[in-house]
Structure 1
Amino acid sequence: MKWIYIAAGIAFVLKMLFLANPAPRLPFSIVEAIAKDSGVSNVVSGIIFRNRLYDTIFEVIVFTIAIMGANFLMANEQPFTRIYQFTDQTSIVLAQLGATVAALVGIELAIRGHLSPGGGFAAGVAGGTAIGLIAITSSPERLQNVYKRWHAATWEKVSVLIFIVLSVVTLSGIELPHGQMGDLFSGGIIPILNILVAIKVALGSWSVVLVFIRYRGLL
């Protein structure tokens, strides 16, 4: 039986290496068609937030469940009594500089993600990176206080709800005017969905960072 598996594996590898898989000949450009339908020059954003918006909704929901799971699984653990952080001035300055750059990049990707490479998920990751860099140089209590003062957990949930509502409206066939392709206010609902996803991912990352620092320390 083992030799059958080995032969099947070899045949599969040879098929991938040597058998051609020609692209279908279409009378039109798929990229141009997606750009025309979505009204954005970044066709990746057009696919994510229009052509496969149904999948994107559940990706956002899965990310939300993952954050809730992290909070739930660690709720009964003992917090670290002392958390060691960077103390040398060079590391602190570099981390804060990196956080500033990452935050600015995140804002850029969220606002202009439908015009250039980027988008809501990438913007949220950049924002989460900025928060992580701040976390290794600031006290956890300070981050926790800021998180509560600005009601970040509430805004995270609100962004998810608004995203789902707008997505359902879009899937039902109601769309905003696309505007002029290449302009900042173009693409209909796509720029708004980009910003909502960026807020959700960044604030969710903030929540996870706080949980792991509290119960695992700085890894």
Structure 2
Amino acid sequence: MKWVYVLAGIAVYIKFLILPNIAPEMVDGSIVGSIVQDSGVPNAVTGIIFRNRLYDTIFEVVVFTIAIMGAKFLLADEKPFARVYQFTDQPSIVLARLGATIAALVSIELAIRGHLSPGGGFAAGVAGGTAIGLVAITSSSEWMQSVYGQWRAAIVEKVSVLIFIGLALITLVGLELPHGSFGALLSGGVIPFLNILVALKVALGSWAAILLFIRYRGLL
């Protein structure tokens, strides 16, 4: 069967070389302008995610929550790994913690200003999860678990999901907060709060997944 794949690959490359590249028709900026005007935020992508396609975003958050719960359920019956692989040399530890600090600051920036500039809740959550992962590979797993429990991260994660769904449903029925001044930090109605909630959910969910894989796999 390998020769079939090789011939298919060659045919695809010939297609790229011979057939002309059809340029897509460019749409004028009226659609983007209308999205920005309706959402009240300069970042049209955020306006689409948290307004025009909010129904999809609700289920994206729910799917991520189910994924974390599923990982916990599947690994619950396994025996914890006896050895945890982490950085031990000082230069790597310093660089990892410096990277964690930068990622955490980027996460906060993307969460609170994602509706004004490129970024948003999902990107902020990924940056926050990256920061937590970098700390995890340079710190004691027992300390990470104790901090996770001390700050009630599991409860905060679930509460953030419920609040997000509640605010989203209120928005879907047509009730919106005032948009405020265009381009201001407090603008776009409920969109900035949805951004922060998604960032919180993704970061804390990543934290839970990291702890699970450290405990039951010994590595990230």
Task: Settle same-fold status: TM greater than 0.5.
Answer: yes
Q: How far did 1:180 drift? A: 1.1
Indicate yes or no: 2:190 matched with 1:189: yes
Q: Distance in 2 between matches of 1:148 and 1:191?
A: 27
Match of residue 145 from structure 1: 146
| Match runs of 1:35-46 below 5 Å | 35-46=36-47
| Match runs of 1:1-219 below 5 Å | 18=20, 20=22, 22-23=24-25, 29-219=30-220
Q: What is the CA RMSD across the aligned residues, in angstroms? A: 2.3
Secondary structure at the aligned position of 1:32 is classed as helix
Secondary structure at the aligned position of 2:196 is classed as helix
**Distance 1:49-1:87 versus aligned 2 partners, 3 A rule:** same
Secondary structure at the aligned position of 1:84 is classed as coil
Q: Distance in 1 between matches of 2:85 and 2:103?
A: 23
Q: Distance in 1 between matches of 2:148 and 2:24?
A: 52
Q: How far did 1:130 drift? A: 0.2
Q: Distance in 2 between matches of 1:105 and 1:140?
A: 24
Secondary structure at the aligned position of 1:188 is classed as coil
Q: Distance in 1 between matches of 2:98 and 2:21?
A: 50
Q: Distance in 2 between matches of 1:23 and 1:200?
A: 38
Q: How far did 1:22 drift? A: 4.6
What residue ranges of structure 1 are gaps of 5+ in the alignment? none
% identical aligned pairs: 71
What residue ranges of structure 2 are gaps of 5+ in the alignment? none
How many residue pairs were aligned? 213
Give the structure-2-normalised TM-score. Answer: 0.90
Secondary structure at the aligned position of 2:60 is classed as helix
Q: How far did 1:82 drift? A: 2.1
Tell me if the contact between 2:82 and 2:218 (Cα under 8 Å) persists in the aligned partners.
Answer: no
Amino acid at match of 1:215: Y
**Distance 1:29-1:78 versus aligned 2 partners, 3 A rule:** same
Q: Distance in 2 between matches of 1:93 and 1:24?
A: 48
Q: How far did 1:87 drift? A: 1.2
Q: How far did 1:142 drift? A: 0.3
Amino acid at match of 2:176: E
Q: How far did 1:23 drift? A: 3.0
Q: How far did 1:80 drift? A: 1.0
Amino acid at match of 1:157: K
Q: Distance in 2 between matches of 1:143 and 1:197?
A: 22
Q: Distance in 2 between matches of 1:49 and 1:56?
A: 7
Q: Distance in 1 between matches of 2:168 and 2:125?
A: 19
Secondary structure at the aligned position of 1:174 is classed as coil
Q: Distance in 1 between matches of 2:135 and 2:27?
A: 51
Amino acid at match of 1:67: I
Secondary structure at the aligned position of 2:42 is classed as coil
Give the structure-1-normalised TM-score. Answer: 0.90
